[in-house]
Amino acid sequence: MAPYDVIVIGGGHAGVEAAWAAASALGDGGRVALITMDPTRIGAMSCNPAIGGLAKGQMVREVDALGGVMGRATDHAGIMFKVLNRSKGAAVRGPRAQCDKYHYAAEVQRILSTRPAIEVIAGTVDDLLVEDGRCVGVRLPEGWRAVHADAGAVESNLACDRMARPVFACPGAPRPAAALRAEAVVLTTGTFMRALMHTGDARTEGGRVGEGSAVGISAMLRSLGFELGRLKTGTPPRLARASIEWDALLPQAGDDPPVPFSDLPAASLAAARFPGLPQVECRMTATTPAIHALIRGNLHRAPMYSGQIEAECGPRYCPSLEDKVVRFAERDAHQVFLEPESLFTDEVYCNGISTSLPAEVQREIVRGMEGCARAEVLRWGYAVEYDMVWPHQIDATCETKRLRGLYLAGQINGTSGYEEAAGQGLVAGLNAARRVRAIDAVRIGRDQAYLGVMMDDLVTRTPREPYRMFTSRAEHRLLLRADNADERLTPLGRELGLVDDARLRAFEARVADRARVLAALDAAREGGRPLRERARQTDVPASDVAASLRAAGIHAADDAVDRVVTDLRYEGYVVRQRAEIRRHAEGERSPIPEALDPDAIVGLRTEAREALRRFRPATLGQAGRLAGISPADVSLIAVAVRRWRAGGSAPGAAPARR
């Protein structure tokens, strides 16, 4: 076969964004292969069918501002939109949407099908092609198939009045084993590497229900010298809505009107409107002291406590119900949100009771909650343990340090969540394409985006549990709001080839709207003062400012007014944060040559040498954030870098990072 430019392995949220970003950045003539075990599950929401939340919502907005897929699919498939922390400052608000999981996956597949450069392949990868220390392709065992989009499914899904069907459901004939060559490979295995699912003492191979396990990739990565770890995550039981006393439970409503994730106008969505689907409510219930006693009495049957699971740790910030009962022994109840998974099925997700206890114990837990005395369990909760690659072995570009041309993204890097995976996928796909085009790699800064914070955290800190993004991780969070993601990143996305003309036009229209609002606030007066001064007052709602503008004969969109008012109120803080960023900019831009030997740095402490060898930071800024490296160590490293540069590369030394 003719070679590809980029091959992406895995059709989850990381793989989708990697394929899309690579195709965008490659431009005309580019070829991207997306290889996945089951193309009908591309874009599947394996756990909670929700997108966004605190800090996660900001990342989805950033992915969208850079031309990604996730925000568009969410706007099409969302069935309950809600901005969390709305009563607090804009810097910590997080947009979230409960989605119809079938429409979400179908819309992701539809979007991918619009890009001819992306070729979908049904199959598994059993080996990488490696030549001269570079990854140059993959090997596919016999039976792989080329996949084509089903035009009938696309047409049916556009109607949005029925359950969506997979778009990639038309595989071709099985083909013999083959070697597919590419300039770069992106590996996004999710929870499938040597994956095992556990419910009580029952174990099943697979990364999610109904799918298999990628067994060979772990051994392949180990043989290449990568250091692997093992992590655990889990999911709760699903219930039949008809068996729940739904109307007796406390309702949880979304925002009215809902706020979209994507900056693209509704006309660009499959449904040609926002929201694309009817909106619903969730319900709330809770565990009880009796349920907690039941769990404590059965801890010996939980795989994490019985020793059945090998994984080092699970997600501390999204723990199983067993973990919550043990760690928060003083609590006699935990909230549980009952969230519909689709408008067209009876499935309800039990948000808050992830568990791997035996089925009979899960049944008692569920039926002990208010409103669920006769609840029917459609699918039992389970834990899944899987292999991952410790992320100190990648650069902030997602490229591995050991094998050039190989990029890792998503849960393989020790992260959790759809949003974290999508962000890494975009970074990996972009940089894979830039390697193909022989263009310098891109590292997004901590001051530019939550995506930059995440990538920097991954390569400077060894995670103790699956990494999850929080607003508290970002020291510049006043700059990194959900509402200004377009201003921060869309011009950069255009420069990098990720942002198309339609998105750019929409961005420029919003910028012009905000400029008109700001000019109007300066021109309009209230009580003899410019209205701008009133807009700065934190006790004055933005809606009152909009009303004052209308009274002055100036009409502007509410979102434009909201954004301008927020900018005015954060202005002083932003000026101080930007000054701080400028002070640290020199270190962030100062690369550390790969050939610099830590043992040759005079005066450097042993702990600092070990940290440099393990993490191999790309810049002095990254080095300063490593545990074990002090400010004095950074000064010594900086001196060594200057001397190394003055003397030039040693014979046979590796080149500096691109």
The mean per-residue pLDDT over the stretch 21-45 comes to: 96
Residues 6+ apart with CB under 8 A from 273: 266
pLDDT surpasses 80 at 368: yes
pLDDT digits (tens, 9 = 90+) for 276-301: 899 999 999 999 999 999 999 999 98
Tell me the percentage of the chain whose pLDDT exceeds 90: 62
pLDDT digits (tens, 9 = 90+) for 89-127: 888 999 999 999 999 999 999 999 999 999 999 999 989
pLDDT surpasses 90 at 176: yes
pLDDT surpasses 90 at 564: yes
Range name among 237-251, 295-309, 547-561, 589-603 with the lowest pLDDT average = 295-309
Beta pairing class for 178-187 and 406-408: parallel
pLDDT digits (tens, 9 = 90+) for 621-649: 888 888 888 878 888 898 888 888 887 54
φ and ψ at residue 603, rounded to 5 degrees: 85, -5
pLDDT at position 658 is: 40
Which one, of 480, 504, 472, lies nearest residue 570 by Cα? 480
Residue where the block lists tokens 């922390």: 85
pLDDT at position 654 is: 36
pLDDT at position 285 is: 97
pLDDT surpasses 80 at 587: no
Q: For residue 26, give the H/E element and its range.
A: helix 13-26
CB distance 168 to 149 below 8 Å: yes
Give residue 492's pLDDT band: very low, low, confident or very high (50, 70, 90): very high
Residues 6+ apart with CB under 8 A from 9: 15, 35, 36, 125, 138, 185, 186, 187, 188, 189
Give residue 269's pLDDT band: very low, low, confident or very high (50, 70, 90): low
Give residue 268's pLDDT band: very low, low, confident or very high (50, 70, 90): low
pLDDT surpasses 70 at 657: no
pLDDT at position 646 is: 80
Range name among 31-40, 559-568, 573-582 with the lowest pLDDT average = 573-582
**How many C-beta neighbours within 10 Å does residue 436 have?**
21
CB distance 83 to 93 below 8 Å: yes
Best-predicted range by mean pLDDT among 63-67, 297-301, 609-613?
Answer: 63-67
pLDDT surpasses 70 at 314: no
pLDDT at position 653 is: 35
pLDDT digits (tens, 9 = 90+) for 393-407: 999 999 999 999 999
pLDDT at position 211 is: 65
Range name among 311-315, 375-379, 498-502, 580-584 with the lowest pLDDT average = 311-315
pLDDT surpasses 90 at 500: yes
> Rounded distance, CA 386 to CA 48, Å?
19
Range name among 231-245, 466-480, 582-596 with the lowest pLDDT average = 582-596
Residue of higher predicted confidence among 62 and 157: 62
Give residue 391's pLDDT band: very low, low, confident or very high (50, 70, 90): very high
pLDDT at position 630 is: 83
> Rounded distance, CA 561 to CA 556, Å?
7
Beta partners for residue 196, in sequence order: 205, 385
Sign of the CA dihedral with 407 first, then 413, 418, and 424 last = negative
**How many C-beta neighbours within 10 Å does residue 512 have?**
11
The mean per-residue pLDDT over the stretch 530-539 comes to: 90
The mean per-residue pLDDT over the stretch 522-543 comes to: 88
Q: For residue 224, give the H/E element and its range.
A: none
Which one, of 96, 143, 91, 148, lies nearest residue 120 by Cα? 148
pLDDT surpasses 50 at 334: yes
Give residue 175's pLDDT band: very low, low, confident or very high (50, 70, 90): very high
